[in-house]
Amino acid sequence: MVPALRAAYNAAFTQEKFDSYLHDLNSKYQPLQFRMAETPVFVPKDFSRKIFDACESIVDVILQPGFKEQTDRAIPENYAVKNENSYPHFIAFDFGICENAEGILEPQLIEMQGFPSLFAYEVFLDDVYDKHFKIPEHYSSYLGGLNRETYLSLLRKIILGNEQPENVILLEIFPQQQKTNIDFYCTEEYLDVKMVCVTELIKKGQQLYYLNKGKETLIKRIYNRIIFDELQQQAPEVRDKAKILFDELEVEWVTHPNWFYRISKFTLPLIQHPNIPETRYLNEITTIPSDLENYVLKPLFSFAGQGVVIDVTRADIQQIPDPENWILQKKVNYAAVIKTPDEPAKSEIRIFYFWEDGAPRPRPSNNLARLSKGKMIGVRFNKDKTWTGGSFALFEQ
């Protein structure tokens, strides 16, 4: 992406330096549950401007009157949680680094979520990376004019609101067992917000409590990390315990679970932008495109890439019994643009947006990146490959 920085980084890279970097990442909390890539992604200003223009166009749609009515159907039956607020505290936008028909690199939106990401871990990652490799001058992982201190201050303000840390929890399903548990440990350290499993909640009337050092402590605010779809894959006793989350509760959510569905694949057909692939609800397509090789078929209510049909055929479309729950999306051409010691890598960049109470709009704050040499981004497509996995992007300021 930035040839001079890429050449200098690759020339200076050593396995010993990378191993030392990994040691620090793995030794402070718990070992990482995912592979770390050997490099960050260097992003020039002209490319980042296109990313943020696309993000802001999506925010414009979210702010339009009637957005909630348009997206009510996005919330699966029996998944709606009460006391939804008027906006999502957090949004994550995933962009692929792609190549257009003219061979020019451009970002293309892959997915988005009204849901948190690895917000605290990225601070730790940035710190450790800078210790071992040094972040180039005029580049930063922090966005929107933020730095380490102001980023953490904003994150703390949004998650805690007006409450004390002991009255705020990070809620997950068996958090210590999650692949993203490194972020939960970082959250505990930076914000003093404890991770709590849904099975540990105590309900009294409309109030929730948890045991904090053996003492029942009132929960006033939930930093939600539960993907509610995943509750249905749990043992019956876990599902039964989680039913209390659908009751009328005296608690504030950050971000409210309903926004996970409202800002998702479901929203893509509502947006038109050069850096957002053409997307249509399958049930609204009257004529199946003749060039299906240029499309991908995605279920609306399946996550983490499950159920996606990459090589779409007419038969795939015709046999779908519920086309209202699927989208047909124009394929994007990922560019193998990250030079590595062997084959070049592809990349996706996730942009974090934070929405502070009382602010008219959310703002960009930080990012993460993933590198791949497989057909798709993800661990199962990159077995036995190096210079792939989790990372972050450094944006020219």
Q: Minimum mean pLDDT among 154-158, 186-190, 372-376: which range?
A: 372-376
**381 pLDDT more than 90:** no
Cis peptide before 187 (omega within 30 of 0): no
User: In which band, very low, low, confident or very high, does the pLDDT at 390 lie, cut at 50, 70 and 90?
Assistant: very high
* SS3 call for 18: helix
Mean pLDDT of 47-57: 97
Give the whole-angstrom CA distance, residue 6 versus residue 344: 12
**Are the beta carbons of 283 and 137 closer than 8 angstroms?**
no
Give the whole-angstrom CA distance, residue 375 versus residue 205: 51
C-alpha separations of 4 from 44, 167, 388 in Å: 11, 49, 21
Q: Where do the domains of the chain lie?
A: 1-145+262-277+344-397, 161-254, 278-331
> Quick one: pLDDT at residue 149?
98
Least Cα distance to 391 among 89, 106, 81, 21 occurs for 21
Looking at domain 161-254, does it have CATH number 3.40.50? yes
Least Cα distance to 142 among 354, 369, 364, 355 occurs for 364
Give the whole-angstrom CA distance, residue 262 versus residue 337: 33
pTM of the model: 0.94
Per-residue pLDDT tens for 295-331?
999 998 876 557 889 899 999 999 999 999 999 999 9
Per-residue pLDDT tens for 126-175?
999 999 999 999 999 999 999 999 999 999 999 999 999 999 999 999 99
Say which amino acid occupies 9: Y
Give the 3-state DSSP-derived string for 259-286, with helices as H, strands as E and coil as C: HHHHCCHHHHHHCCECCECCEEEHHHCC
Q: Rounded mean pLDDT of the chain?
A: 94
Helix (H) or strand (E) holding 207, with range, is strand 207-212
